[in-house]
Amino acid sequence: MNIIKPIFAQDVIIPSAPGMKSELTTGGIGGIISLALPYIYVFAGIALLVMIILGGFTLMTAAGDPAKTKEGYGRISSGLVGFLIIFISYFIIQILEIILAVKIL
């Protein structure tokens, strides 16, 4: 009798580039997330940089307008809060790995 596994529990095979040794097999949806997380952190850092630059540009071009100044500060603080949330999530996952003795990342 064949046991049918749900799609999220099945292995996903990612083909390798020409000249590489073998295919990479992820452990289902968890493996895909583990493969994507380093790229998410890089994207979050780039997004933070862009938000700080745009907020600074808005502040420089505000010319004393309180609404534009508030918008610039809001953009900078939003970027920092978003990055902080993603940064803290990484450490929470690391703590959970230690407490539960399970490899997440």
Identify whether 20 is part of a domain: no
Range of the domain at 42: 26-100
Identify whether 37 is part of a domain: yes
Summarised one tens digit per residue, pLDDT across range 39-79 is 888 898 899 999 999 999 999 999 889 999 999 999 999 99
Identify whether 81 is part of a domain: yes
Between CA 31 and CA 47 the distance in angstroms is 25
How many domains is the chain built from? 1
At residue 69, the 3 state secondary structure works out as: helix
Between CA 13 and CA 85 the distance in angstroms is 31
Are the C-beta atoms of 105 and 31 separated by less than 8 Å? no
Identify whether 88 is part of a domain: yes
**Token digits for 26?**
């992820």
Q: Which backbone phi and psi does 25 adopt, to 5 degrees?
A: -110, 125
pLDDT at position 50: 95
Scanning the structure block, which residue is given the tokens 């895909």?
32
Identify whether 8 is part of a domain: no
